[in-house]
Structure 1
Amino acid sequence: MEKITSKNNTIIKDTKKLFTSSKARAEEKRFVLEGARLCFDVLNSVYEPENVFYTENIIKKYPSETNALITRCGGSYMITEEIAEKLSDTKSPQGIFLTVKMKNGENKIKNKAIALDNVQDPSNVGAIIRSAEALGIDSVIVYSGCDVYNPKAIRASMGSVLRMNTIKTDNLTQLIKELSSDGFATYATVPDSRATKITDIDFSGKTLCVIGNEANGVEDGIKAVCDSLITIPMLGRAESLNASVAASITMWEMLR
């Protein structure tokens, strides 16, 4: 265990970058967790913790869990409350942070999957992953848009990011073609009453549904390679649904 008392410490600066920069996360293949629940969740996940930063108060409050992380991590650092405030991405830091090595998804989509086409809002991305885990979707495919390791996305997922099979792709069109060849039915969700109602679709087989960007929807090229366009019937005056709400309804229909 090493004590860090300076906010200008190089390790602290580098860790802060993992909070604020998706580029830094991608280059270093690491991300950072904050708070007792998320940090301790790693103990029961497939992720490999790297460095833990903790205050004197947090180890007094959660001695067994904090010591378990200290044992698992390559580096452990006791920090001051001032440094915790510098590191924190929240208004009221609990005083524990964890850097974690990224891992690749299984890349094996077994039965039901949801794909995110350039979904930008980290709260939407996190909420979708949380709903996917709760409903029993086996994979979440992420194409462009928000990084799933964005701290806000991780918090919105309530830790589901640590447990779900998330697959990043740079070519969703090609992946859809491959899944179609593997027997998947593929659908793009659209806010268009002319599309097939989602309630009329038979989701009993292997299925992939695509959720589009908050402002522009699913890209035309991606819609073109899907088997069908589907829509959620709406009786009110709103023209569309929030991306995470649309995804949750879609996943419910896929699995009911």
Structure 2
Amino acid sequence: MIETITSRKNQRIKEAAGLVRSAESRRAQGLFVVEGARLCYDALRSGVPVQQLFFTPQAREKYGDYVEPLVQAAQAAFCTEPHAAELLSGTKNSQGVFAVCAQKPRLSLEALPKGGRYLGLEALQDPGNLGAVMRTAEALGIAGLALFGECCDVYNPKALRAGMGAAFRLPVYQGGSFAEIAPHLHRRGFATFAAVPDAGAQPVTDCPFPEPCLLLVGNEGSGLLPETIEACSQKVTIPMKGRAESLNAASSSAILMWEMMR
């Protein structure tokens, strides 16, 4: 049964808007909000449980091929007036389709599978960068993403949009300090690589990446922590020409992942 929402003060809308705004609320409730007809449908196709669906009458008419399967799958569906639905939007030209979904179980780095090559991110702050990295990681066949330190939220709306659905499928492992878990990974046979802007490090173009391995990229402004670099098995760098001294996190991660997966 589809219910109708006409007020911005509706409790369902207010609760969903809280998930859009607050990473703390998302973590506490184990929920997140997806915006956009195609992205919501992608979540459904990827096996993400859709608990609530909000859509405007105009969206149902325009994006019916996406909306109707979502209506059937959602535990609850709400036809929502545009002025109320806009509380859930983080875009200028919203499509008027929003899904409240259940997060995947959080994966511990202690259980990182031994097969494959992984990318680690330390204290990455920009959700757009995180989403772009996840999209590239999925495209290149990275086995999973490991997050260390105070990284931004995988389920941040901006990260979800930039990732184009990669967050629904790519395994993401949560950790605290890399330096603390590094000995455990090394005992399990992982080779660990620190990406650094250091001419004395091995060029990533010449570096073999055995399985299993973990390649770490640092914060947009300050890079990896000194103790993280020290804890890694090896340092690698991206050779650069001209006057460029550095690349942003998404660009450098893309190059590093490409070389790692060649």
TM category, shorter: over 0.9
Specify the alignment match of 1:137 in structure 2: 142
Normalised by the length of structure 2, the TM-score is 0.93
Specify the alignment match of 2:48 in structure 1: 47
Specify the alignment match of 2:188 in structure 1: 182
Q: Which amino acid aligns with 1:88?
A: S
> Is residue 2:164 matched to residue 1:163?
no
Contact 2:38–2:66 under 8 Å retained in 1: no
Of the candidates 149, 153, 160, which is equivalent to residue 147 of structure 1?
Answer: 153
Contact 2:191–2:212 under 8 Å retained in 1: yes
Q: Which amino acid aligns with 2:160?
A: I
Residues 165 and 91 of structure 1, relative CA distance in 2, 3 Å threshold:
same
Report how far residue 145 of structure 1 moved.
Answer: 1.7
Distance 2:26 2:178 in 1: 22
Specify the alignment match of 1:239 in structure 2: 245
Residue correspondence of structure 1 range 179-218 to structure 2 within 5 A: 179-218=185-224
Of the candidates 111, 114, 117, which is equivalent to residue 112 of structure 1?
Answer: 117
Give the match's secondary structure for 2:26: helix
Contact 2:106–2:172 under 8 Å retained in 1: yes
Contact 2:13–2:85 under 8 Å retained in 1: no
Higher mean displacement: 80-89 or 30-39: 80-89
Distance 2:57 2:146 in 1: 39
Unpaired stretches in structure 2, ≥5 consecutive residues:
none
Distance 1:67 1:123 in 2: 29
Distance 2:182 2:41 in 1: 36
Distance 2:102 2:118 in 1: 24
Distance 2:215 2:156 in 1: 23
Alpha-carbon deviations, 1:151-208, whole Å to 9, x = none? 0011111111111111122233333332222211100101111112112211143221
Give the match's secondary structure for 1:126: helix
Please tell me the root mean square deviation across aligned C-alpha atoms, in Å.
1.4
Give the match's secondary structure for 1:191: coil
Unpaired stretches in structure 1, ≥5 consecutive residues:
none
Specify the alignment match of 1:59 in structure 2: 60
Q: Which amino acid aligns with 2:204?
A: I
Specify the alignment match of 1:22 in structure 2: 23
Report how far residue 57 of structure 1 moved.
Answer: 1.4
Q: What is the aligned-residue identity percentage?
A: 39
Specify the alignment match of 2:131 in structure 1: 126
Give the match's secondary structure for 1:84: helix
Distance 2:186 2:104 in 1: 26
Paired residue total: 256
Higher mean displacement: 80-89 or 175-184: 175-184
Give the match's secondary structure for 2:33: strand
Contact 2:193–2:233 under 8 Å retained in 1: yes
> Is residue 2:91 matched to residue 1:86?
no
> Is residue 2:251 matched to residue 1:250?
no
> Is residue 2:74 matched to residue 1:73?
yes
Moved over 6 A (4+): none
